[in-house]
Amino acid sequence: MSIGWGFPLNNRSPNCRSRLKLPKRMDTGPLQVLTVATAPYPDQRPGTSGLRKRVCVFQTKPYYLHNFIQSIFSSIDLRDRQGSTMVLGGDGRFFNKTATEVIVQMAAANGVGRVIIGHHGILSTPALSCVIRKYKAIGGIILTASHNPGGLDGYFGIKFNVANGGPAKEAITNKIFQISRNIEEFAICPGLRVDLTTVGKQAFDLENKFKPFKVEIVDSVESYANLLRNIFDFALLKELLFEENQIKIRVDAMHGVAGPYVKRILCEELGCPASSVINCTPLEDFGGQPPNPTYAANLLEDMRGGQWDFGAAFDGDGDRNMILGRNGFFVSPSDSVAVIADNIFCIPYFQQTGVRGFARSMPTSAALDRVAKATKIELYETPTGWKFFGNLMDAGCLSLCGEESFGTGSDHVREKDGLWAVLAWLSILAARRQSVEDILKNHWLKYGRNYYTRYDYENVDIDTACEMMEDLEILITDKSFVRQRFAVEDKIFQVEKADNFEYTDPVDSTISRNQGLRIIFSDGSRIIYRLSGTSSEGATVRIYIDSYEQHNVFQDTQVMLSPLATIAVKISQLHHRTKRTGPSVIT
């Protein structure tokens, strides 16, 4: 059955849901599948982590959600889609429930045989990856805008993960975008209603379908928790956290999806007092604060009080993490993955599997490289985006990886995993019986230190940002730029190499171009410029600065990197072009 818009295309009503004129359904008959006419939108290109827009875009633009979901389904070959299993879940932000209902209705109409959904529609990103792999699903849809604010005036996002549990590769996201630009109709079963409140199986008869469409509501935590039980020594961790001489930890779930996982695993299984964890109830607006670890001000204040030995915070969908030591000692994400690499056999999983390789995104500091060199383990440098790590993992080349944007993980799933990183650090603390600060300082004494910072310039005019990047690329790729010298204070930096980073995947030889502008100096210091692929509004210009010191390892990061920061701003003319006096955020 087909159904049209029901109103002129040039006068689209914001209440598109009420405009979808549905035929009356007989309670005893099969559910009808409708084909609904629509018109494309030009702005549905997925970024590094899917499609992210303000909630009002999904609410006021007719069928904006439907178009993108249909584009995902249409990107999958009908033979693969027919009767298949898909996984669905989200971080609990505003609009998740509405989107979940629509996606289930469209999955049924598009031939999917079964949809597995987290209880109440909740699944963390790493847990969804785990469930995809456990049930051998063809993929999954994650409803999250990660660290961006939630609520009615906040952001909403959709990300498609493929059968390996990881983010879709560029070829797939490009295909989804092309379909979205030409879409004319979508399929939906609007009479289908799913109960998300009860764990169990539900079945629905659809017209022209020989088999019932099935929905399975699963415990959001259990499959993932069972995976972690087989990776870490829970008995040892319980001794660290619960027995005599226990350490005191403080964990902030920031009212994101990680809350139920933190309570189940850290409190119920490992014995942490309930007072150790805060903000563990997922809220649609995350309590009015961005679910971003870098904004965990209350946690930082608590840690500075000196009563807690270890602190951690997560983002909205539970894949990012921030690690703190006593008195608020900050562990940068680049250092975090390097420390885990150096202590990797404190984790029983790696005692069993061995270590196949390490990897980091190109903008991440080279701290991990030094561990890889010392341990003679292969090191891969990839573009930003977890999908590049997944390909290496599937080929058996990679065990541990990380990104500077608070992402850490291993080959147990195909997503970065915040709680996994916390348990990895707790495993190191249990084995070494040192403080977080002592472990990191000893690491610097052993390997030297990569001083590292990132400047974010948020909500920059897109045209201004793109023009700046284009001009900057012309400047640095000119042959005359190499060997130029820049003097700041008593420091002199000579350019050794400058390019637009290009990655050739060692597994399938896929080439990814335009992955960030790099200036590499003769002493190994680096300045990197990128436009963010995860920004939900405007453009975010990012400058990354990385500089290695072998012996002078206990200085202030911003003081040490000030000369390079001055050079980075001068070369790009960023402040002049954007009319800014400084970055929005420094990490």
Cβ(119)–Cβ(90) below 8 Å: no
Sign of the C-alpha dihedral computed for residues 254, 255, 257 and 259 taken in this order: positive
The rounded distance, in Å, linking the Cα atoms of 416 and 129 is 10
Are β-strands 114-122 and 213-218 bridged in parallel, bridged antiparallel, or unpaired?
Answer: parallel
**Nearest of 450, 462, 453, 416 to residue 585 by alpha carbon:** 453
The rounded distance, in Å, linking the Cα atoms of 240 and 276 is 14
Residue that is written with structure tokens 């505003």 in the block: 94
**Nearest of 87, 81, 326 to residue 187 by alpha carbon:** 81
Element housing 249 (H / E): strand 249-252
239: left (phi over 0), alpha (psi -120 to 50) or beta: alpha
Active-site residue (options: 71, 129, 146, 332): 146
Which residue type, as a one-letter code, is found at position 24?
K
**Nearest of 426, 440, 405, 427 to residue 310 by alpha carbon:** 426
Integer angstrom CA distances of residue 169 from 111, 277, 385, 420: 23, 36, 9, 24
The rounded distance, in Å, linking the Cα atoms of 374 and 104 is 50
Integer angstrom CA distances of residue 502 from 340, 383, 477, 513: 28, 8, 13, 5
The rounded distance, in Å, linking the Cα atoms of 523 and 483 is 12
Cβ(339)–Cβ(365) below 8 Å: no
Torsion of CA 367, 368, 371, 374, to 10 degrees: -90
Q: Check if 332 is active-site.
A: no
Cβ(323)–Cβ(422) below 8 Å: yes
Residue that is written with structure tokens 């290695």 in the block: 548
* Catalytic residue IDs: 146
